[in-house]
Amino acid sequence: MDSDDFVSVVGHSGGGKSTLLNMIAGLLKPTSGSVTIQDQDVFALSDEKGSFFRNSKIGYVPQGQGLLANLTVLENVCLPFYLFKREGDVIPKALSLLERMGIGSLAASYPRQLSGGEIRRVSIARALINAPALSGIQDAS
Ligand SMILES: Nc1ncnc2c1ncn2[C@@H]1O[C@H](COP(=O)(O)OP(=O)(O)OP(=O)(O)O)[C@@H](O)[C@H]1O
Ligand SMILES: [Mg+2]
**Domain residue ranges in the chain:** 17-137
Compute, in angstroms, the gap from residue 16 CA to the centroid of ligand 2: 7
The per-residue pLDDT for range 11-55, each reduced to its tens digit, is 999 999 999 999 988 889 999 999 999 899 999 999 899 988 988
Rounded to two decimals, the pTM is 0.78
Compute, in angstroms, the gap from residue 85 CA to the centroid of ligand 2: 31
Q: If you write DSSP's letter for every residue of 8-32 in order, what string do you get?
A: -----TTSSHHHHHHHHTTSS--SS
Q: Whose CA is nearest to atom 19 of ligand 1?
A: 14
Report the CATH fold assignment for 17-137.
Rossmann fold (3.40.50)
CA dist list (Å): 112 to 66, 68, 71, 107, 115: 12, 10, 10, 13, 8
Quick check: CB of 17 below 6 Å from ligand 1? yes
pLDDT exceeds 90 at position 134: no
Compute, in angstroms, the gap from residue 102 CA to the centroid of ligand 1: 32
Q: Whose CA is nearest to atom 11 of ligand 1?
A: 14
How far is residue 129's CA from residue 55's CA, in Å, rounded to a whole number?
10
